[in-house]
Amino acid sequence: MNEPLRNRTAKEELEDIPGTYVFNRERCRQGLHLNLLFSSLLKAENRTEFLTDETKYLAKFPLTEEQRRCVLERDWSGMLKVGGNIYHMSKLGGTDQRSFQYLAGAMSGMTQDQYRAMMVQGGRGIEGNRSRKENAGGKS
């Protein structure tokens, strides 16, 4: 491993893993209202209201424009970046009648079937999946 990578904090180490957005204190605060939105979808009447007019339903929550965009476009990885917690996000997936496997595939840039096949074959290889900085030749 490159010398500069050894002197990183635990947070920096975790944030450097490609495709990983750690649900830490900052993301928890950032995503509070987003995750409250997702949790509201546990109730059938809220799911119906949401599916009837998503934009109107989202207006009930003080979300950022980026959070709104991510929900409306079903940008699953984007939701993680802006504070979404995967367990709360799964309520939106369920509302859309999407499996957790579908969500994982979407966040991995794959279809559900491609994701399933990869996992059945032993999962994602380590090559290229250890460090964003190393993949960029040491550049952030």
The C-alpha angle with vertex 80 and arms to 125 and 105, in degrees rounded to 5, equals 45
Q: Does domain 3-135 have CATH number 3.30.300.90?
A: no
Backbone angles phi, psi at 34, to 5 degrees: -65, -45
The C-alpha angle with vertex 117 and arms to 13 and 74, in degrees rounded to 5, equals 65
Q: Are 132 and 140 in contact (CB under 8 A)?
A: yes
40 or 115: which leads in pLDDT: 40
According to DSSP H, which parts of the chain are helical? 3-6, 10-15, 25-30, 32-40, 44-52, 54-58, 65-73, 76-81, 86-95, 100-107, 112-120, 132-135
Q: How confident is the model at residue 3 (pLDDT cuts 50, 70, 90)?
A: very low
Domain ranges of the chain: 3-135
Is residue 5 predicted with pLDDT exceeding 60?
no
0.85 exceeded by pTM: no
pLDDT at 13: 65
Is residue 2 predicted with pLDDT exceeding 50?
no
Across all residues in the chain, what is the average pLDDT?
Answer: 83
